[in-house]
Amino acid sequence: MTYTKRFDGREFDETRKIEAKVGVVPNADGSAYFAFGETKAIAAVYGPRIFHPQHLKNPQKGVLRCFYDMMSFSVTERKRPGPARRSSEISLVTSQSLMPVVQLDNFPNSVIDVYILILQADASTRCAGINAASMALAHAGIPMTGLVSSVSVGNIGGSIAVDLSKEEEDYEEDGKKFATDTAMAFLPNGNVSLLQLDGKTSPEMLKKAIEAGRKTCLKITEIQKKALKALESK
């Protein structure tokens, strides 16, 4: 174990400062903002509405579509605008991680669109985006069995750390990358709805990472709920 003190002084089971707020895009049916430190995401939900094009409609149930992207100014080197493989992949896994809680049977022939934009990126953007999207769907009044919560967990220099920053994702030892980034999301019953592993780790360390992520997501869910309740009481 070589990474014994985190770059920003956090405990290994501590996230960066979380900010969560709903109702940030008044024109949307539901919206939310979620930040892990300098990673800042906004999500806006439109729908349920009639699905165009017609041939993609599902007469049995509604369709949930997520569109993830990073603003050009979200990273120090300008990010090229427009669709890319990375954003298509993240859009897909985001939809799949949220799908189990959204009661799409209520909305045949309809679509629910979720737009996720990263305002500023310092790693774990897909996790911040999922947290924002889950809150925005609830804010839009879409029937859900609960909230989905997401966090990244890493094996950094042999230590399990939650909510990785870019500096940690890029951790090196003897000039070689020694960081495993695992993005995960959990359903209200504790089941996993997203698990993506970037790098190498052992089955034991992966198990430990999942447990750390599950524990952290319980706390994140409470923060998401608190933000939703704060709006209700206004």
Which spans of this chain sit near ligand ADP (rule: CB under 6 A)? 75, 77, 79, 86, 121-126, 166, 169, 181, 183, 198
Separation between Cα atoms, residue 222 and residue 234, nearest integer Å: 19
Separation between Cα atoms, residue 114 and residue 95, nearest integer Å: 9
Residue 119, H or E segment: strand 110-120
Which among 177, 57, 172, 43 is positioned nearest to 113, based on CA atoms? 43
Q: What's the closest the beta carbon of residue 201 comes to ligand ADP, in angstroms?
A: 15
What's the DSSP call for residue 82? S
Tokens 């050009």 correspond to what residue?
72
Q: What's the closest the beta carbon of residue 31 comes to ligand ADP, in angstroms?
A: 20
Q: What's the closest the beta carbon of residue 183 comes to ligand ADP, in angstroms?
A: 6
Please report, as a single letter, which amino acid is at residue 103.
Q
Q: What's the closest the beta carbon of residue 181 comes to ligand ADP, in angstroms?
A: 6
